[in-house]
């Protein structure tokens, strides 16, 4: 992910243009990485199979790594709007498929 148009000669590497906010980037072993919420929303936006994204969401919730469910909702809003929905409904569907609550408690 890059903030402006940029090329690469590396085969198979595709750069996405997006300006990230400080809360969308977290340090992992000293390297910048996407927050869990931003990564999940990007996977949905890219058209990744929702069952795979749900699996990642389930793992993140159970590990206590999904710390801002409302932020995930806001990241999903533009994607959901294209589907005539909203981010809250899309996040709810994702967590239902994952079998977890955004607060980190399993269903049931």
pTM: 0.85
Q: What pLDDT is attached to residue 10?
A: 87
108 band by pLDDT with thresholds 50, 70 and 90: very low
Residues 46-85 pLDDT 10s: 999 999 999 999 999 999 999 999 999 999 999 999 989 9
CB 50 within 8 A of CB 97: yes
Q: Which residues contact 73 (CB under 8 A, 6 or more apart)?
A: 87, 88, 91
Domain boundaries, the chain: 33-98
Query: Does the pLDDT at position 107 exceed 80?
Result: no
Residues 1-29 pLDDT 10s: 777 888 888 888 888 888 899 999 999 99
87-106 residues labelled b (16+ CB within 10 A) or e (exposed): bbebbbebbeebebebeeee
**In whole angstroms, what is the distance from residue 96 CA to residue 107 CA?**
9
């Amino acid at each position: 992910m890059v903030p402006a148009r940029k090329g690469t000669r590396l085969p198979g590497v595709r750069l996405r243009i997006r300006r990230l906010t400080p809360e969308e980037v977290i340090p992992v072993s000293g390297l910048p990485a996407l927050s869990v919420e931003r990564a999940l929303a990007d996977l949905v936006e890219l058209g990744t199979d929702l069952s795979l994204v749900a699996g990642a969401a389930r793992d993140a919730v159970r590990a206590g790594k999904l710390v801002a469910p409302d932020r995930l909702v806001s990241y999903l809003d533009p994607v959901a709007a294209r589907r005539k929905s909203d981010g809250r409904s899309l996040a709810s569907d994702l967590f239902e498929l994952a079998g977890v609550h955004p607060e980190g408690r399993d269903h049931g």
